[in-house]
Structure 1
Amino acid sequence: MDMPEMMPPTFQDMLDAHTRIKPYVHQTPVLTSSFLNDLTGAQLFFKCENLQKAAAFKVRGASNAVFGLSEDQARLGVATHSSGNHALSLSYAAGRRGIACHVVMPHTAPQAKKDAVIGYGGQITECEPSTTSREAVFAQVQVKTGADFVHPYNDPRVIAGQGTCAHELLAQTGGLDAVIAPIGGGGMISGTCLTLSTLAPETAVFAAEPDQADDAARSLRAGHIIADDAPVTVADGLKVPLKDLTWHFVSTHVQDILTVSEQEIIDAMRLIWARMKLVVEPSSAVTLAAILKHKDIFAGKRVGVILTGGNVDLDRLPWMTS
């Protein structure tokens, strides 16, 4: 279910979002690791959105949508469907504005993310872990509540908000040869493309994706959207398909989508925890996993690496054995 007849956001929309959300988000730090530079042969600049409010970059787009609503629109609240980080980010933003937030989440979503939604005041309706189920259940919730639909990624307000991350990253690093971000539905990568295509068109944009949820990579190769309904991967934030707005940016600006195995994701996640002392979730670790797998692409380059979130169930870390 999508909002009808949407136009892609503009660079000015991103600048407006930057001003609008500034009171509600962190300018997250950019960190480096000499160990990981040596390991990859590149200069890596990690944009730590895992240290963002709600521990996820998605609070940028969610805040832009929530605080861009008119008073009349805001009275009915907001609603969305999400596997986790957008749900808790929208709940955070709605809570800051003092309005209701209705969230449809798969029952398999990490408990840490469900707890965060509830903690921020969001109201959860559970669904089956498939795109079909979440959209069908959401349609019922929206009819019942009349709330404003803030799509997790296929929403110009959300994409403009996510673009503020790359805006900060460029200013903090003084320029980059490449930027790599995870791709699921494509909100972050679209925002990155939106910003870089204007401010730094010479900077190559790469996306990273699990082998087991590689619909974006297959879409890029095929030249049209290929959607998987219910992929299974440890990177729970990357299970959703591209939509028309995000496909616009991906098909126009992304140089390549690099895929990695489940074990490569887990190994990269553990490496970030161990060497950088950063709590990141599996979806964040696909970026480093892709760089490690494709060192030849990034060797000798200044590379921005977007760590998208840090919401993990500490009792069920992927390298734990029972």
Structure 2
Amino acid sequence: MELNLERIKKAQENIKEVVRKTPMFHTSTFSKKCNCNVYLKCENKQKTGAFKLRGAYNKLVNLTEEEKKRGVIASSAGNHAQGVAFAATSFNVKSTIVMPLTAPQAKVAATKGYGAEVIQAGQVYDECHDKAVEVQKETGATFLEPFNDIDVMAGQGTIALEMLEDLPEADVIVVPIGGGGLISGIAVAAKSIKPSIRIVGVEPEIVPSAKAALEKGKVTTVPGAKSLADGISVSTLGDECFKYIQKYVDEVVTISEDEIAHAMFQIMERNKLIVEGSGAAPLAALLAKKIDGIEGKNVIALVSGGNADIATTAKIIERELVFEKRRIRFEAELQDKAGTLGALISEVGAMGGNVVTVRQNSNWNERGLESADVSFEITVQSQEHGESIIKSLRDKGYVINIKK
């Protein structure tokens, strides 16, 4: 069985009644930052919150009735899980999903909500895959590979058909890489339609399985690690995928955890999109200037999914606000008199700062019983705004010590 444009077009026909054609839009904000014309293809707006439904549903369409009767089993960090659960329930097929212990609880809950039985095992995808194989042998269920399967790759490749239908003049497509099924399908479809188009893959630098495989010329297992981009934290590239990546993908770049977090924050703030780490990876590569030769080009960044863990997202927002100095921590030396603290809070508010937390560290300090140190955390509009507030407070006689 070979992955080709004909098979991908057939997949598009198979899934058209269920899968949404997701929006794609130009973003002037990121175009200016990246010095190219950036378009975001929003698979975070897909049913189940990610692109995985495409491949999973196409695979279910191609199963025999006997295979469906045995039920299906899959291993997944989260998005394939939801896609399989949704697709299986659509066909009234029993589904069992093995997910890592580290999978975001939002993805676990959603998978159960779509009708699957969930088993959690292992820290990374590869470990939960081994558990799924074990369960499959015990139950006889039909195993649905998350990426290393031609029908799955073909389903994912339908994204490229939509991209080039909406933007035929696209020059570059930037795609996250985990096991390789997504980029394989997209690369085959896009290159078959427009051979001149450039396909760039992005993966976390702490799990660079695709880059390692391309450098060594063979599938290579790298040490497992949990990335913010949990959906692409895959230690071993699919061997079927690797054949197409070698042939059709022009380049693979890696990004740091800080770059992923920054991109997640930026896309939330500027484009009002909730995006998981994997979905932010292509934009992270663009913002970090990891891709050369794209100046003035039409570049599509695939936002592959939006199933972000809320707790993790909150931490990222907090971190980025501190990093950009829009959340400031400082200590003020105040006289221990009624109204002194309220006066300082009023001063901060009058200058446009928002007081988040206030804590009096003790009733007295080395200066005696008549003074106290009070810790503040405030949010401001920008680094410059924060600096002006601190300067103004000091000019008014307050003793302010900035905390990191």
TM-score, with structure 2 as normaliser: 0.76
Contact map agreement 1:42 1:302 (CA 8 A) in 2: yes
Contact map agreement 1:132 1:229 (CA 8 A) in 2: no
Question: How far apart are 1:75 and its partner, in Å?
Answer: 1.2
**Residue in 2 aligned with 1:4?**
none
Q: What is the alpha-carbon distance in structure 2 between the residues aligned to residue 195 and residue 71 of structure 1?
A: 29
**Residue in 2 aligned with 1:187?**
181
2:222 is paired with a residue whose SS is coil
**Residue in 2 aligned with 1:219?**
213
Contact map agreement 1:291 1:298 (CA 8 A) in 2: no
CA offsets, 1:206-233, max 9 Å, x none?
0011111112112212222221252221
Q: What is the alpha-carbon distance in structure 1 between the residues aligned to residue 255 and residue 12 of structure 2?
A: 32
Of 268, 285, 288, the match for 2:283: 288
**Residue in 2 aligned with 1:237?**
231
Greater than 4 Å deviation, 4+ residue runs: none
Q: What is the alpha-carbon distance in structure 2 between the residues aligned to residue 58 and residue 267 of structure 1?
A: 24
Q: What is the alpha-carbon distance in structure 2 between the residues aligned to residue 234 and residue 198 of structure 1?
A: 33
- Pick closer, same or farther for the CA change 1:46–1:131 going to 2, 3 Å: closer
AA aligned to 2:252 is I
1:62 is paired with a residue whose SS is helix
Question: How far apart are 1:12 and its partner, in Å?
Answer: 1.4
Q: What is the alpha-carbon distance in structure 2 between the residues aligned to residue 9 and residue 100 of structure 1?
A: 28
AA aligned to 2:299 is V
**Residue in 2 aligned with 1:108?**
102
1:305 matched to 2:279? The reply is no
AA aligned to 2:305 is G
Q: What is the alpha-carbon distance in structure 2 between the residues aligned to residue 292 and residue 136 of structure 1?
A: 36
- Pick closer, same or farther for the CA change 1:132–1:261 going to 2, 3 Å: closer
Of 192, 210, 235, the match for 1:198: 192
**Residue in 1 aligned with 2:316?**
319
Q: What is the alpha-carbon distance in structure 2 between the residues aligned to residue 315 and residue 132 of structure 1?
A: 24
AA aligned to 1:301 is K
Unpaired runs of at least 5, structure 2: 320-404
1:315 is paired with a residue whose SS is helix
1:268 matched to 2:263? The reply is yes
**Residue in 1 aligned with 2:222?**
228
Q: What is the alpha-carbon distance in structure 1 between the residues aligned to residue 266 and residue 129 of structure 2?
A: 36
Question: How far apart are 1:24 and its partner, in Å?
Answer: 1.0
| RMSD, matched Cα | 1.5
Of 254, 268, 271, the match for 2:249: 254
Contact map agreement 1:178 1:206 (CA 8 A) in 2: yes
1:148 matched to 2:148? The reply is no
**Residue in 1 aligned with 2:85?**
91
Contact map agreement 1:215 1:227 (CA 8 A) in 2: yes
Contact map agreement 1:42 1:300 (CA 8 A) in 2: yes
AA aligned to 2:56 is A
2:38 is paired with a residue whose SS is strand
1:50 matched to 2:44? The reply is yes
CA offsets, 1:22-57, max 9 Å, x none?
111100000121111111111111110000010100
Unpaired runs of at least 5, structure 1: 1-6
Q: What is the alpha-carbon distance in structure 2 between the residues aligned to residue 250 and residue 279 of structure 1?
A: 29
Question: How far apart are 1:286 and its partner, in Å?
Answer: 1.1
Q: What is the alpha-carbon distance in structure 1 between the residues aligned to residue 172 and residue 266 of structure 2?
A: 21
Moved more, 306-315 or 125-134: 125-134
- Pick closer, same or farther for the CA change 1:284–1:131 going to 2, 3 Å: closer
Moved more, 124-133 or 286-295: 124-133
Question: How far apart are 1:299 and its partner, in Å?
Answer: 1.2
AA aligned to 2:205 is D
Q: What is the alpha-carbon distance in structure 1 between the residues aligned to residue 169 and residue 63 of structure 2?
A: 34
Contact map agreement 2:99 2:118 (CA 8 A) in 1: yes
Identity %: 36
AA aligned to 1:69 is L
**Residue in 1 aligned with 2:30?**
36
1:80 is paired with a residue whose SS is strand
TM-score, with structure 1 as normaliser: 0.94
Number of residue-to-residue matches in the alignment: 316
Question: How far apart are 1:132 and its partner, in Å?
Answer: 5.0
Moved more, 38-47 or 212-221: 212-221
Question: How far apart are 1:288 and its partner, in Å?
Answer: 0.8
Q: What is the alpha-carbon distance in structure 1 between the residues aligned to residue 17 and residue 196 of structure 2?
A: 31
Q: What is the alpha-carbon distance in structure 2 between the residues aligned to residue 231 and residue 314 of structure 1?
A: 21
